[in-house]
Amino acid sequence: MKFSKLFILFIVIIASNKLGAQENSSKAIYPVLGKNDTIRVTATNDNGYMIPWFPLKEVVIIGVRTFKSAADQAAFNRLRYNVLKVMPYALYAKRRYEQLERDLAVTTDKKTQKRLVKQCDDEIKKMFNTEIKELTITQGQILTKLINREVGRTTYDIVKETKGGFAAFSYQLIARVVGHNLKSTYSATEDRDIETIIVNSGYYQ
């Protein structure tokens, strides 16, 4: 009896393997190509039928904004001008600090790390002395927000990490005198007008 059960089980296994082999050996059905179908695309086997497909880029649909008054539109235009004015500086800061973090990650020598931090600090300071110092108070406030948006940390935190707590405190005191706040953070919800301008700016296309 046991032998007969094992024999039947053996037959079932062989039959299932043959059935699977027949299913796998069956030819997939491809769509009929036309004379203009010359682009190679990915295809997915859907129950024997090959369904061609290709990925599409994300499409962001933004409605045309209407303003309640000419003054509101003028204010938005000024904001747009200021955002586009300082956005390159925020992106530069992002790239430069990302490079600094990569450089610091590959060395444990304190002297080398100190030199790398100073080099980065000198480059940022040079940019401030030549261009950023000409920014208006409003543009400076927007810049601190955008640095937080791009780098993921406030300007105060960046100074504290690279120069120390006392330097960050000193810079914050100076910034507050001229109407800035190095601890300003960015919120895509609260700063939705700025976010809309950035999304439509073309920087991330």
pLDDT one digit per residue (tens) for the chain, 205 residues: 544 555 454 444 544 554 444 444 557 777 777 777 777 778 888 887 878 888 888 876 767 778 899 999 999 999 999 999 989 888 888 888 888 888 888 888 888 888 888 888 788 777 766 666 677 888 888 888 888 888 887 777 777 776 778 777 776 776 676 666 777 888 888 888 998 888 887 766 5
Helix 110-130 vs helix 70-105: crossing angle, to nearest 10? 160
Of the candidates 86, 87, 105, 107, the one whose C-alpha atom is nearest the C-alpha of residue 97 is 105
3-state secondary structure 66-115: CCCCHHHHHHHHHHHHHHHHHHHHHHHHHHHHHHHHHHHHCCCCHHHHHH
pLDDT of residue 79: 94
Helix 192-199 vs helix 70-105: crossing angle, to nearest 10? 70
pLDDT of residue 77: 93
Of the candidates 92, 62, 89, 88, the one whose C-alpha atom is nearest the C-alpha of residue 193 is 62
Tell me how far CA of residue 189 lies from CA of 16, 71, 185, in angstroms.
59, 23, 12
